[in-house]
A and B are shown apart, each in its own frame.
Chain A
């Protein structure tokens, strides 16, 4: 006599264990996660769970450990570009869209607390009602989760207000891969959030609690350590007036000098640099037509805004404008009054109002797809990387796969995010992605630090990296069964 043992699918076991949890196995939804714009995936997710709250999420992680189900948290909407939302085998998506509230905005402490599913357009709108604004990345696509962007250490366009690479992220609530629930920084306590609010506290200290800093461990881990449900973030007051300057130059060098000068003087709110392809992509949504823009727009530009401070604002604005004018004169910078897509004021609106962004990243520049290569370096090293990317493109890539260069000073100018995006037609993706690991190796050899390695570039970006070998140890402490984001950031150095 044989006994037939019924083996149930882990998804069914999870559904049974968590009554009422929303789950979908509908093919159209699953297809959203079967490949992204960087690559197709070999696997389709087995389900999409949409927990309604922290308790359901925690129960889901606990059950997943028990039944051997793997989970991939996703907070942003489609499209995805970096390969970090691709399901591995036996993986269910954890759709965080139900965590959709901006919970609290505290003007006095310049901090907001928001959930994982809140996207930049909504966040910007809610903060504006309280006289604040978020520290935005460069024109995030409109379905990008703010929490996800900050957890990814996505650079913001406000380098002067970045005191630490972790900024503007402060405190977080996390469900670790062990199923444990934790709040980082001063949010940990003593007391509940409500107790802390009643005592005048506002989750503004990102450090600790105690002698470790688990926010930093969750951040940058691409969902392999824990799933964050909410975070508190630094915000900036909306200034009474703000002016954007755009300066151009045929060479990057003088603009780098200008960036150093402005940041050493601590003047700018917004500051970033790029090439005219970036200016075109941001303002028109398309790659610049070289023939039409080459005479009208300089090869490189720097955009910097100054904002009126809350006290003695007029003299400060006079002071800053005077110094900026003098700097431009000394460095022989060309003031750019119009962009390919309109005025400089229009560009400022694009930078400040994420609701104007499309669903696709500006990095596509109208071509239907993009591939990003980005890393950290210092501003004075940027030119060498421009040369490497340009030479590589000329030699190995198609002529119509010209890069867009975006250089974002970080930490008040102490380092920078260097990015070359390659807009391309969707059908050219496979060939392009085959080439890019070699570009990454060349950039690393020249001193590029790939602090945020993603998807198909991870191996090339981290091979031989001394600190990379610590990553698996960190992941093992908080997700010993490797149930979280199984395809992401599996590196050994």
Chain B
């Protein structure tokens, strides 16, 4: 099983245009028999709408991925299975997409793959409020599920890709980082039972559904099939199609509906009475490490994460001109050692407890907080916040910040009204975290697109190490003018499951219409991958798909050979397009080779600083 390599002359495809057209027509005709005329599409214009994809340039050098052979829009699992069986019969591959964010949804080879668009499977099948789980189909978004869950006193994990993305895709097939991870985990870990159209077209209901008629458990009988279908990342369409799954929901101590005013892009969210939104600042990396560990262990935060200053500037503003102004405010520009926090509570007593705990933690680290707590203690926290910032900036720069800072408040007064201006920043923070709705405005708007790097799921100490390594590498590319100067350190991420593991990914924003930028950012990603290996920063979030397994697998117990074994066992015909999954025979094309040679020839200097980390832990006994 190999993937055809792209040569400088194009894809190594020996078929004539006539043969391709004939195949396309055969596939179309057969699909129509299964789905009906309306639900099959081969018009090139429509095919291209599927091909225009985020970071397509990494694979193709353009903003378009190769065209699919046809688009199929099945209505249910049985129709999905029929399409899958048909592809097996005709010897063409298929690739499913749910909400379809990113190039990994598309084929990598032209005119060979049937794109299965799952948008007609769009129902929330059930929300079991008592047992706190929901059963969803692929086209249900985080936003939709959260909206319905909140009506029942529940909330859902929404991955960092945004609330517009599929819940099922994150849980079964993709990754699943998010700033709600501290209280709602990682998408992999939220998956319960699921319905799987296996690569050959057989439908299997995994976990309790098959036996007990409901989806409350996904593991067993015996070994867990969850371990077959995904790991840290899913198979990205390389192992069949998931048509239904159950995900965990979480208690929500908030209103049935968020109180939003205004319109896009200037929504104002009224923070519910017992909720707290805060930016907590401390003085250095070491304190930031402590801060994460302590808040995680205290179990007080519903949302907890790090936004670097440049990302905050993006989130707080509606256009780049405004962002540039805000980013120049020295005070904001220096908020490197900060975490954003949202704490929910069901009562005044609970809110007071959580605020007391956070205060104890933050003050114990010499930090301060800007929050929606306007009590005397909250105002003291704000003064401490200013003190930390001014100590870092120096008095002169701090004072120089004041007019711009007041300007920001006046802007909010104009935008939301004088009474709401003091809450505007925390309101933005609150809605940004709750809806996972503004990450995208923070990363896409500056230059058009972004790629990301590092981001392994590791301890918080190691995640910070990775962020510091990544920033040094990124500086090289910033200095060369190929990616946006965001200060270098633009590490985004947080802690999961109360701090059991964490991630910080180093964002890199660039102009996707500039071919050089696209190429060079790919070099940045390759170089950070090498750094993950060299400096033991875990297997990066880019450890997905054959080119990257080629870098990480040898350093991580040759894991890809087992993934490949899974692939060939469950999909011996290689019917599900595995170009983003596994292919040990993968050989880099000339472009990839050149990219790697360029990276190896000029690697950034990295200095390792472990001053943030906890004291070394003594090994009690050697392994046998």
Contact = CB atoms under 8 A, between A and B. Distances in A.
A211 B228 CA distance: 9
B133 interface: yes
A217 to B, nearest CB: 4
Given A312-B357, A452-B221, A200 B227 contact: no
A205 B210 contact: no
A107 B461 CA distance: 13
Given A104-B619, A210-B552, A220 B131 contact: no
Contacts of B595: none
Interface in B510-567: 532-539, 543-544, 549, 552-553, 555-557, 559-560, 562-563, 565-566
Given A379-B131, A413-B131, A108 B622 contact: no
A394 interface: no
A468 B350 CA distance: 45
Nearest to A311: B357
B350 A210 contact: no
Interface stretch (A336-344, A400-408, A472-480): A472-480
Contacts of A188: 539, 556-557, 559
Nearest to B209: A466
A449 B624 contact: no
B457 interface: yes
Nearest to A237: B297
A217 B223 contact: yes
A346 interface: no
B617 interface: yes
Interface string A76-109: 0000000000000000000000111111111111
B506 to A, nearest CB: 17
A412 B621 contact: no
Contacts of B43: none
A101 B620 contact: yes
A210 B543 contact: yes
Contacts of B349: 315, 318-319, 322
Q: Counting chain A CB atoms within 10 Å of each CB, which of B225, B294, B536, B560 scores highest?
A: B536
Interface string A430-470: 00000000000000100111111100000001100111111
A175 to B, nearest CB: 12
A434 to B, nearest CB: 22
A230 B132 CA distance: 33
Nearest to B246: A414
B593 interface: no
A269 to B, nearest CB: 11
Interface string A222-253: 10110001100010010000000000000000
A191 B361 CA distance: 34
Interface string A257-275: 0001000111000000000
B457 A199 contact: no
B606 interface: no
A196 interface: yes
Given A190-B532, A208-B559, A98 B624 contact: yes
Q: Counting chain A CB atoms within 10 Å of each CB, which of B214, B222, B347, B560 scores highest?
A: B222
A360 to B, nearest CB: 27
B539 A54 contact: no
A200 B354 CA distance: 29
Contacts of A37: none
Contacts of A469: 204
A341 to B, nearest CB: 32
Contact of A467 (B225, B236, B456, B534): B225
Contact of A163 (B185, B206, B361, B459): B185
B162 interface: no
A415 interface: yes
Contacts of A310: 294, 297-298
B24 interface: no
B222 A221 contact: yes
Given A234-B500, A309-B299, A447-B212, A207 B224 contact: no
A220 B617 CA distance: 31
Contacts of A413: 131-132
A11 B44 CA distance: 66
A266 B299 contact: yes
Contact of A444 (B205, B211, B361, B500): B211
Contacts of B293: 108
A379 B500 CA distance: 27
Contacts of A52: 624
A216 B617 contact: no
Interface residues of B, number: 111
Contacts of B458: 186, 201, 204-205
Given A311-B294, A378-B131, A465-B211, A211 B544 contact: yes
A31 interface: no
Q: Counting chain B CB atoms within 10 Å of each CB, which of A100, A188, A216 scores highest?
A: A216
A54 B623 CA distance: 8
Nearest to B195: A466
B51 to A, nearest CB: 24
A489 interface: yes
Interface in B201-232: 204-208, 210-214, 216-228, 230-232
Q: Counting chain A CB atoms within 10 Å of each CB, which of B230, B533, B559, B616 scores highest?
A: B559
Nearest to A472: B222
Contacts of B350: 319
Interface stretch (B81-89, B92-100, B186-194): B186-194
A200 B235 contact: no
A413 B349 CA distance: 24
A201 B231 contact: no
Contacts of A183: 557
A68 interface: no
Contacts of A466: 204-206, 210-211
Interface in B453-468: 456-462, 465
B384 interface: no
A461 B539 contact: no
Interface in B581-624: 581-582, 610, 613-614, 616-617, 619-624
B623 A380 contact: no
B356 interface: yes
B223 A471 contact: yes
A447 B213 contact: yes
B571 to A, nearest CB: 12
A107 B214 CA distance: 39
B624 to A, nearest CB: 4
Nearest to B198: A470
Contact of B227 (A199, A213, A260, A266): A213
A63 interface: no
Nearest to B252: A264
Interface string B174-185: 000000000001
Contacts of A367: none
B248 interface: yes
A293 to B, nearest CB: 31
B467 to A, nearest CB: 12
B351 to A, nearest CB: 10
A210 B232 contact: yes
Nearest to A488: B222
A315 B353 contact: yes
A222 B224 CA distance: 12
Interface of B: 128, 130-133, 153, 185-186, 188-189, 192, 204-208, 210-214, 216-228, 230-236, 238, 248, 251, 293-294, 297-300, 346-347, 349-350, 352-354, 356-358, 360-361, 456-462, 465, 497, 499-501, 532-539, 543-544, 549, 552-553, 555-557, 559-560, 562-563, 565-566, 569-570, 581-582, 610, 613-614, 616-617, 619-624
Given A205-B501, A311-B300, A466-B204, 19 more contacts: A102-B620, A104-B620, A108-B293, A108-B461, A109-B500, A182-B559, A190-B533, A201-B462, A207-B186, A207-B189, A208-B543, A209-B232, A216-B226, A219-B227, A230-B623, A311-B294, A379-B130, A471-B221, A477-B562
Q: Which 4 A-B pairs have the closest CB atoms?
A: A216-B227, A451-B220, A208-B232, A466-B210
27 contacts: A53-B624, A101-B623, A108-B461, A163-B185, A190-B537, A190-B538, A190-B556, A195-B536, A199-B465, A199-B535, A199-B537, A207-B231, A209-B557, A210-B233, A210-B543, A210-B560, A210-B563, A212-B230, A213-B224, A214-B231, A260-B130, A311-B298, A378-B128, A413-B131, A449-B217, A452-B221, A489-B222
